[in-house]
A and B are shown apart, each in its own frame.
Chain A
Amino acid sequence: MAGFVLQRLMQAVVVMLVMSALVFVGVYAIGNPIDVLISPDATQDIRAATIARYGLDLPLWEQYFAFLGRVLSGDFGTSFVYGIPVTQLILTRLPATLELTLTAIFGATLVGVPLGMYAGYRPDRIFSRVVMGLSILGFSVPTFWIGLVLIFVFAVDLGWLPAGGRGETVSLFGVEWSFLTLDGLRHMLLPALNLSLFKFAMMVRLARSGTRETMSSDVVKFARAAGLSEWTVLSRHVLRLIAIPIVTVFGLELASTLAFAVVTETIFSWPGLGKLVIESITALDRPVMVAYLVIVSFVFIAINLSVDLAYAALDPRLSKGRS
């Protein structure tokens, strides 16, 4: 097991290095940041001085190693637009995305998996059909449209919930969180719901198909023949058997939502990472884009690693085969 973890950690380091190089070169190739940094009518002297100050006159590889060195010490440079260190900027935005994404995806899983299991267990019940209908809706209706409808209905017409913003926040570990205040939770409800619908639909379908397949298996027949109650069969046997695809999708969705909650964050003016990166791309704010991409790769790798470890815990055949 330890060998497996070590091997995966080393792979992760290599992937991170390749990613950082790709990101750096990719971003270097687009646009000229000098145009953003100084006004078009600045003198040639000022222009040269600025270029020298940001090290933009050095060869690409030297710039890359300088960049790598700074990144390793946690320094992503200073935002061209905001004029504050990128690390600090991201730290103010990350918690917003984190709390929104985690709420959405945990909600989707904790509600979707039991409903999906029920729909797979009793496929002919009306309730199961309603659940499946909802999941088709969640799959096929675009996120931005649902977001707008949610705002129309709950914020504009009914006036029950705020249409955007984070609301009141509380400081914890030096960063601001919304989920600790009632007002913050009220602000989070609509965007989280919006974000969770697709994931909910996915979890329902996964759990349903897995349960349907497993219910007709010999494992279930044998468990029933031994007198286990239906609840025990479902909660102890079936849930464990269908867990692996669910954990896989959970990890993938968690990572991609953390990185790309852009649409929802924009519609609900949620000041998260997705919104920040879109703004940075339009403003050619290179340090922010680079830092964002590096952090996103890191998040993906970390989550994939945890998913792999979860597999080993869920299916003993995997851990024994690898150790």
Chain B
Amino acid sequence: MTGPILRVRDLTTRFRSRAGTVTVVDGVSFTLDRGEVLGLVGESGSGKSMTGFSLIGLVDEPGRVEPTASVELDGRELVGLAEPEMRALRGRRISMVFQDPMMTLNPVLSIGDQMGLVIAAHHRMSRADMATRAAEALTRVGIPEARARLDAYPHQFSGGMRQRVAIAIAILNHPAVIIADEPTTALDVSIQAQILVELQRLAREDGTAMIWISHDLATVSTVADRVAVMYAGRIVEHGPTTAVLSRPRHPYTRGLLDSLPSRGEPGHDLAQIPGAPPSLAALPPGCAFAPRCGHADAACGVAPPATEVGPRGWRCHHPLEEARR
């Protein structure tokens, strides 16, 4: 089949409460091809994790994905899908890996049991076949002596090994899309690199597409084919990773890049983005980044239109010059 594996249009997630309505994901659109890695970047609270949860239909009450949104997985519309059908897709066609492997694995169930539950949620097969399948998945993520480790419990693994187990659980049913929510953030730097390479290899071998959610531009730049920068629930800039990171057009992307320690001159103060991310409950009208932006003027009081140029796009009244660097 041709065309993108995942097509997201105008994904909007709102939390309604007596105190008011908060829009945590605001009109997010993107496409994802088979085997492609999309980096979703932004500060804490920018809505990147919530975008992930919205995609797999796991937004906690009272949050809700607006019915006007569209998420097409392999040509099938997911928004508005009944829960049993959505559940049948989760973990089989689209799965998710979380940040902290200490927290995601159940400490009182053996690895084999936890993997068995995930297989049994989607397939009918004998316990022996399940064990074979689970061991295969563990082997694929680089866990030695996989069969013997099925009886082990999470606390018998190191942090990096646990994240491998979590990834093995996510790929058990050969999904078309994996959402990786900061999968390396809680790990040591040396382990981060291993997990990074492992996930990349899996994506390449299986043609599995991946959404890599991270606040860490350095890791994203090594794994992602394309990158989307989120601010206050919106994608403010997107495009091929090298282009966006070397020639950012949105002042926010620029600010993020300048905050990277490795980019600054030794001995100089690290650049910072002034101010703090806005509260989603009290967003300024127009461009949400304007209060922190050095280029902002009266025009920024109106929401900037989406500009699309070739593979790139941004939402800014005063985009930075291509050449400026």
Contact = CB atoms under 8 A, between A and B. Distances in A.
A317 B153 contact: yes
Contacts of A229: 87, 121
B210 interface: no
Interface in A81-117: none
Given A229-B87, A237-B109, A221 B98 contact: yes
A315 B108 CA distance: 5
Contacts of B109: 236-237, 240
B153 A226 contact: no
A129 interface: no
A225 B179 CA distance: 10
B153 A316 contact: yes
A226 B95 contact: yes
Given A236-B117, A320-B156, A225 B90 contact: yes
Interface string B47-85: 000000000101010000000000000000000000000
Contact of A217 (B95, B103, B110): B103
Nearest to B120: A232
Contacts of B87: 227, 229
A196 to B, nearest CB: 28
Contact of A222 (B89, B98, B107): B98
Contact of A225 (B91, B105, B110, B155): B91
Nearest to B86: A227
B302 interface: no
B108 A316 contact: yes
B92 interface: yes
A228 B153 contact: no
A315 B166 CA distance: 20
Interface string A239-254: 0110100000000000
A314 interface: yes
Range class of the A interface residue count: 20 to 34
Interface in B105-141: 105-110, 113, 117-118, 121-122
B96 interface: yes
B121 A232 contact: yes
Contacts of A241: 106-108
A51 B119 CA distance: 76
Interface residues of B, number: 34
B153 A227 contact: no
A182 interface: no
A224 B166 CA distance: 13
Contacts of B91: 225-228
Interface in A258-317: 314-317
A219 B58 contact: no
Contacts, number: 85
B88 interface: yes
A40 B89 CA distance: 88
B229 interface: no
B104 A317 contact: no
B103 A227 contact: no
A227 B108 contact: no
Interface string B210-231: 0000000000000000000000
Nearest to B170: A226
B162 to A, nearest CB: 12
Contacts of B105: 219, 222
A149 interface: no
B102 to A, nearest CB: 9
Contact of A316 (B155, B170, B173): B155
B25 interface: no
B10 interface: no
A222 B104 contact: yes
B232 interface: no
Contact of B106 (A219, A224, A227, A320): A219
B103 A224 contact: no
B121 A225 contact: no
A86 B173 CA distance: 66
Given A316-B108, A320-B155, A227 B89 contact: yes
A226 B169 CA distance: 8
A268 to B, nearest CB: 40
A243 B108 CA distance: 10
Contact of B118 (A219, A227, A317): A227
B100 interface: yes
Interface in B225-277: none
Contact of B103 (A218, A225, A240): A218
B134 to A, nearest CB: 13
Contacts of B106: 219, 223, 237, 240-241
Contacts of A221: 58, 98, 104
B108 A240 contact: yes
Nearest to A219: B106
B155 A228 contact: no
12 contacts: A218-B98, A222-B98, A226-B90, A226-B121, A226-B169, A227-B88, A227-B122, A229-B121, A240-B106, A240-B108, A315-B108, A320-B153
A-B complex: 4 closest residue pairs judged by Cβ atoms: A227-B91, A226-B91, A218-B103, A225-B96
